[in-house]
Amino acid sequence: MFKTCVTPPIAFAIVSFCLGELGDGLNIFQGIYLVGLGWNEGAIGIALSLMGFTALIVQTYAGDIIDKSYIDRRALMTVAAFFTAGSAMAIMFVREGNTDHMLMYTTKIIEGIASSFINPCLAALTLASFGPKMFDSAMANNILWGHIGSAVSAILAGSAAYVFYPNIKYCFFVIGGAALSAIFFVQLLPEGDPSVGRGFHGPTKSSDDDDESVTDNHNNDEMVQISGSKADDQIAASYLSVFSERRTLILCVTGFFFHFANANVLLVLGELMGTEDNDDDYDDNDDEKANRAAIPLIAGAILLAQGTMSATTVIGGRLTENGVGRKTLFLVGLITLPIRCALIIHWRDAGSAYLLSTQVLDGIGGGFFSLIHPYLVADITFGSGRFNVIMGLTASCFGLGSTMSNFVGQMVVENLGHVTSLSGSLVLSIVPIVIFSLFMPETLNTRGQDKAHSDGASPTMEYNIIT
């Protein structure tokens, strides 16, 4: 009864909100909690980076599994949400002292594997349910509610951590509540057309086969669900052809350099805000007060970025509907990074308020990047049957950039200082702008052109087809 009362757009919005609360923003609070238990910085760094390293390896395979699996993607998402939340909450079983390392390391690996399936499943279900024409607006709505969920998560977790400090483990109940909500509401999502969710064309309706293709609006004119098509009826492009496609390579390289320049900036920003008063001598009591006072600052940084991302997603969605190209919006996101680096360098001694304000630029850049990324992948791959595997491949490239950024950036901070590290990020941030502006063609209104169609391959198609 309840399921029939919830339209698909609302169901996707609710699920995206819940999954947004499962995001890795709470890793910062996990680090604070482990420090309080007596863990050293090296062990914390290993624990928090294992999830990223695992996801880096798994994401492409996860996308391929989602493409080829006959299992209902809603079931895959439910299992992934359960294991992601369970692994994240395992930190509550870590005992006092520098112990239980293997518990954290193991659960972080499991979390990295499970979380790799969530976003590809959501994207596949969105494409399967709304079709290629309505995918952009539907995905923008998902991304918007995901950012709102992350912002609410930061507020709830930060409030709990501040109120119950130093026993901040209660903030992790936010993860458990979000997981239970996601598992419940995933059941409200439509399955859609599995082959369309893979990136295949749906069946073409003609006067001779009116019964083979039907439209099911589910009381929503924007929801298009095609039945009667099967992935078995269409042939996927070869891995080599989709992996070597020029636009895919440009997107991978652009995203790698953007994240290589970007990921370390937030760490350096936090270090600058946290050390601005370090010239004073604190006793243990003052130090504890300073640590507690840092919690709302951290939550505020997350909230400001996520709030800006939400606004950027709305604006980007409206601009897309009005015909503004992917290339223009993506470049706007890329250009915010060197400006942000320059402002942090300039304001490094101006105080936390100035430094915190640069998170607005982080929100704009991250907002446009996360919004346009799935649009570009859908434009490039639709018709090939490899939508999710390319979503995974590009995400892996982005993750590699982030991982290298954190490692190299912090090495530079340790040996040469914060300004040198930020200057390096500023220089690196120019590279993706040049690459994308010079080599990436506009992909708006190209979705599905020159690709395989459901009635078989054409001699002039762009992809090589597996036979």
Kindly state whether residue 5 falls inside one of the protein's structural domains. Answer: yes
Note whether 55 and 106 are same-domain residues. Answer: yes
- On whether the pTM is more than 0.75, the answer is yes
Note whether 54 and 131 are same-domain residues. Answer: yes
Note whether 177 and 243 are same-domain residues. Answer: no
CA distance 259 to 255: 6
What is the model's pLDDT at position 368? 94
Q: Average pLDDT in the 65-94 region?
A: 88
Lowest-confidence pick of 163-172, 174-183, 309-318: 163-172
Q: Average pLDDT in the 26-30 region?
A: 72
Note whether 34 and 109 are same-domain residues. Answer: yes
What is the model's pLDDT at position 429? 95
Max CA separation in the chain (angstroms): 84
With a cut of 60, say whether residue 285 has pLDDT above it.
Answer: no
CA angle 67, 70, 72 (to 5 degrees): 95
The mean of the pLDDT values for the chain is: 80
**The token pair that represents 232 in the structure block:** 């078995």
What is the model's pLDDT at position 350? 83
Q: Which of 140, 175, 198 is the last residue of a domain?
A: 198
Q: Which residues contact 114 (CB under 8 A, 6 or more apart)?
A: 79, 80, 81, 82, 83, 84, 87
CATH label of the domain that carries residue 33: 1.20.1250.20
Kindly state whether residue 431 falls inside one of the protein's structural domains. Answer: yes
Residue range 220-277, pLDDT digits in tens: 444 444 444 444 457 888 888 889 899 999 999 999 999 999 988 887 887 777 655 4
Kindly state whether residue 291 falls inside one of the protein's structural domains. Answer: yes
Note whether 25 and 162 are same-domain residues. Answer: yes
Number of domains in the chain: 2
Q: Which of 198, 224, 253 is the last residue of a domain?
A: 198
With a cut of 60, say whether residue 204 has pLDDT above it.
Answer: no
The neighbour count for residue 10, using CB atoms within 10 Å, is 14
Q: Average pLDDT in the 399-423 region?
A: 86
Note whether 397 and 267 are same-domain residues. Answer: yes
Classify the phi-psi angles of 131: left when phi > 0, otherwise alpha if psi is within -120 to 50, otherwise beta. Answer: left
Q: Average pLDDT in the 183-212 region?
A: 70
Kindly state whether residue 221 falls inside one of the protein's structural domains. Answer: no
Residue that wins the pLDDT comparison between 28 and 373? 373
Kindly state whether residue 19 falls inside one of the protein's structural domains. Answer: yes
Q: DSSP letter for 4, please.
A: H
Kindly state whether residue 42 falls inside one of the protein's structural domains. Answer: yes
What is the model's pLDDT at position 138? 93
Q: Average pLDDT in the 307-319 region?
A: 92
Note whether 288 and 406 are same-domain residues. Answer: yes
Q: Average pLDDT in the 293-318 region?
A: 83
Note whether 180 and 253 are same-domain residues. Answer: no
Residue range 373-391, pLDDT digits in tens: 999 999 998 888 889 999 9
Note whether 163 and 264 are same-domain residues. Answer: no
Q: Which of 198, 225, 248 is the last residue of a domain?
A: 198
Note whether 412 and 299 are same-domain residues. Answer: yes
Lowest-confidence pick of 113-122, 258-267, 409-418: 409-418
Note whether 260 and 182 are same-domain residues. Answer: no
Kindly state whether residue 52 falls inside one of the protein's structural domains. Answer: yes
**The token pair that represents 113 in the structure block:** 């594997």
Smallest CA-to-CA distance from 38 within 82, 89, 85, 99 is with: 99
What is the model's pLDDT at position 202? 62
What is the model's pLDDT at position 465? 43
Can you give the residue range of the structural domain that contains 17?
1-198
What is the model's pLDDT at position 459? 34
Kindly state whether residue 205 falls inside one of the protein's structural domains. Answer: no
What is the model's pLDDT at position 173? 82
Note whether 271 and 407 are same-domain residues. Answer: yes
